[in-house]
Amino acid sequence: MGIDDASDRLVALSDGMLSVWDTRTAAMLGEPVRLGSTPEEVAWYQRNGDFSDRPGHPHQIAITAPDGSLELWDIEQRRQIRTIPTSIPTEIVPHFGEVEFDSTGDRLVYVGANSTIEMWDAETATATGAPIAAPGIQSLLGFDSAGYLITEDESSVNFWDLEAGHQSGSLRLPTGVYGATVEDGQRIDVGGSFELPYQLPITAEQWFGHLCRTLNRGFTEFERTLLPPETDLSRPCSKGQ
C-alpha cells in the first residue's frame, strides 16, 4: 500500500488487483485493475504483487512485473505509461522486487541477482552507468538529501556515490540495522533488535553541526601533525556553530 500525497489517495495492490481509495471517505475510486495478461502472470501478481511510489511525479507508481521489468503506471488514469526493461530478481530472495527512486523520481536503483547495484533512468528507460559490486548487500534503505544511496548489510549502513561508482562511507550500528528506514533524506529510523527504536542523523551538515556544538575548538598540535600539508589549519567551526 502507499499514499498518493498529491491527491489524498490510497493505492493498494492485493490479490493481483490494483485499486485506488479515497482516504477521506474510505471509498474505492473507480474499478480495480487486474494485473497480468495470461493466467500465469495473473497468478504471479496474486502471489507477489509489489510497487513503489515515484517521487516528484504525482499519481505515478512503479510495479515489478513477472519478467523482472518495471512498469510505470498512472493511478489516476488506470493505465501503464511505459515499461523499463530492468532485470529485477523475481524469485523469493532477499532483494525480491526491491526498488528505490531518488528524490526527483527520475533515477531508480535496484539490487541485481549478483549483489550489484543497478541504476536506470526512469524517463528514458535506459541503464545509466555500469553495475556497482556490493558484496553482502541485504537491502536498499533509500537516498539521503545529498543524493547518496544508503544500503544495509548484516550490521552496517553503507553510503554509495553512484556518480563515482563506489562506496563512500559506512556506519556500524550498535543494535544492528533491523527495521531501518531513511526518512526525508535526513535521518535513519532504526527499529532495533530487542532494543528501543532510535533516530540517526545521516548528513554531513548534521554531523558537522553536532561536533562543533560539542567540541568547538582549534586543532591540537598532535592533530596538526596528522593533517596533509595543504590543510587549512584555521578553526574548523564557525562562531555560530
Mean pLDDT, residues 156-165 taken together: 92
Q: CA end-to-end span of the chain, whole Å? A: 42
Output 142 or 92, whichever has higher pLDDT.
Answer: 142
Give the CB-side neighbour count of residue 224, counting CA atoms within 13 A. Answer: 9
pLDDT beyond 50 at 241: no
Question: Identity (one letter) of the amino acid at 96?
Answer: F
d(CA 217, CA 54): 44
Tell me what pLDDT residue 179 has.
64
Selection from 142-151, 173-182, 206-215, 232-241 with the highest mean pLDDT: 142-151
Q: Looking at 35-39, 132-136, 146-150, 188-192, which range is the least confident one?
A: 188-192
Of the two residues 174 and 28, the one the predictor is more confident about is: 28
pLDDT of residue 67: 92
This prediction has a pTM of 0.78
The domain segmentation of the chain, as residue ranges, is 2-201, 203-241
Looking at the predicted structure, is the pLDDT value of residue 192 above 60?
no
Residues 37-55, mean pLDDT to the nearest whole number: 90
pLDDT of residue 240: 47
Q: Which superfamily does CATH assign the domain made up of 2-201 to?
A: YVTN repeat-like/Quinoprotein amine dehydrogenase (2.130.10.10)
At residue 233, the pLDDT reads 84
pLDDT of 78 over the 60 cut: yes
More confident of the two residues 97 and 38: 38
Position 128 scores a pLDDT of 94
**Which stretch of 22-31, 90-99, 215-224 has the lowest confidence by average pLDDT?**
90-99
**Separation in Å, CA 87 to CA 96, 119, 131, 233:** 11, 11, 12, 50
Distance of CA 74 to CAs 54, 77, 79, 206, 220, Å?
10, 6, 6, 37, 58
At 129-153, the pLDDT tens digits run: 899 999 989 889 899 988 999 998 8
Q: What is the pLDDT of residues 47-71, one digit of tens each?
A: 887 888 999 998 899 999 999 999 9
Q: What percent of the chain has pLDDT over 70?
A: 89
Q: With cut-offs at 50, 70 and 90, classify the pLDDT of residue 198.
A: confident
AA identity, residue 68:
G
